[in-house]
Amino acid sequence: MAAEPYDMLVAGSGPAGMTAALYGRRLGLKTIVFGDIPGGNLYMIGNLSNFPGFIDGISGMELGAKLFQQAQAEGAEFTMSRLKKLQRAAGGLFQALDADGQSHLATTAVIATGRVPLRLSTGKAGLKGVHFCSVCDGPLYRNRNATLAVVGSDNAAAQHATTLARIAQKVLLIHRSTQPRMDAGHMALVQRQENITILGDTELVDLEGLDMLESLVLQSRSGQRRDIPVDGLFLAMGWRPNTDLLDLPLEKTIDGYLKTDTRLMTSFPGLFAAGDVRDTDLWQVLLACADGARAAKYAAEYISGN
């Protein structure tokens, strides 16, 4: 006998997905969550200083763990496996295939798969010493008097730079724009660190090294090139929405973000989007949580026909 379909499946275990699962269960929805990292990309944040209720901030990893425990305590089921494909099944249901080959059916779905970091286009992007997470990989350079570089100018880049400043002898924050795109609070944190040097109007054009990264090839706006020796590189160049798993016709922005209506439903009936994967004007953990709560509410209303 086939298993009874879930009321709501949630793709993504970040703040949007966890909150959707929490609210879905509190609304009485039988809920299953796909994702292998509790908190999703939160693990990349050393200290989340602008989330209400935490005066001294909270680490992304700790917040992710708390969100997971709370959703689990409410009765949400977790596959602890990433969603590989979401498609339409017979009877108007959604069919989800996870990375372990398991298939699950649900009446509604919430896509909360977030964004993934942009990668370098150079053929040497696979060199050892190129990283995306300062919290995870920064400690590799402890006690080495290292020179580390961060490429990017937004709040994520500032987080990387300030985290690495506690580990490295010198941190280079490299960005193409004339002015950084980080907010004033993050800019102040960067400027307080004496071992962070900001290189604006500068583009990373190539990497040097055989197996291990040895130096960066930088080019100024005037066209002047120079090689800068570094021990490690951390990328924060931007993001793209994580939607490759969706085998459904959907309206998207020119950058690939999912378009939603005022009830957070995508152009495909019964499919909702929450958090960084959807078209929004501000990517913040707080807003991702709010999206998750609203998506669960509207999914429940969709099921009941309201």
Q: Where are the domains of the chain?
A: 6-116+239-304, 119-235
Please tell me the distance from the alpha carbon of residue 204 to that of residue 117, in angstroms, as a whole number. Answer: 16
pLDDT number for residue 1: 41
Q: Return per-residue pLDDT of the chain as tens, 306 residues.
A: 457 999 999 999 999 999 999 999 999 999 999 999 999 999 888 889 889 999 999 999 999 999 999 999 999 999 999 999 999 998 899 999 999 989 999 999 999 999 998 888 776 767 899 999 998 899 999 999 999 999 999 999 999 999 999 999 999 999 998 888 899 999 999 999 999 999 999 999 999 998 999 999 999 988 899 999 999 999 999 889 999 999 999 999 999 999 999 999 999 999 999 999 999 988 899 999 999 999 999 999 999 987
Contacts of 15 (CB under 8 A, 6+ apart): 39, 40, 42, 63, 64, 67, 275, 285, 288, 289, 292
Paired tokens of 273: 């989007």
Paired strand residues for 124? none
Contacts of 52 (CB under 8 A, 6+ apart): 286
Can you tell me which residue has the tokens 């269960």?
25
Cα dihedral sign, 173-177-181-185: positive
Q: At 192, which helix (H) or strand (E)?
A: helix 184-192
Paired tokens of 293: 């709560």
Q: How many CB atoms lie within 10 A of CB 195?
A: 15
Paired strand residues for 202? 220
Please tell me the distance from the alpha carbon of residue 105 to that of residue 87, in angstroms, as a whole number. Answer: 10
Examine domains 6-116+239-304 and 119-235 and report if their fold is the same.
yes
| Contact (Cβ atoms closer than 8 angstroms) between residue 274 and residue 294 | yes
CATH of the domain spanning 119-235: 3.50.50.60
| Contact (Cβ atoms closer than 8 angstroms) between residue 231 and residue 146 | yes
Q: What is the pLDDT of residues 134-162, one digit of tens each?
A: 988 999 999 999 999 999 999 999 999 99
Contacts of 30 (CB under 8 A, 6+ apart): 4, 6, 7, 8
Altogether, the residues listed in the chain come to a count of 306
Q: What angle (nearest 5°) sits at the alpha carbon of residue 122, between those of residues 116 and 124?
A: 100
SS3 93: coil
Q: What is the pLDDT of residues 6-55, one digit of tens each?
A: 999 999 999 999 999 999 999 999 999 999 999 999 988 888 988 999 99
pLDDT number for residue 123: 65
CATH of the domain spanning 6-116+239-304: 3.50.50.60
pTM of the predicted structure, to 2 decimals: 0.87
pLDDT number for residue 91: 87
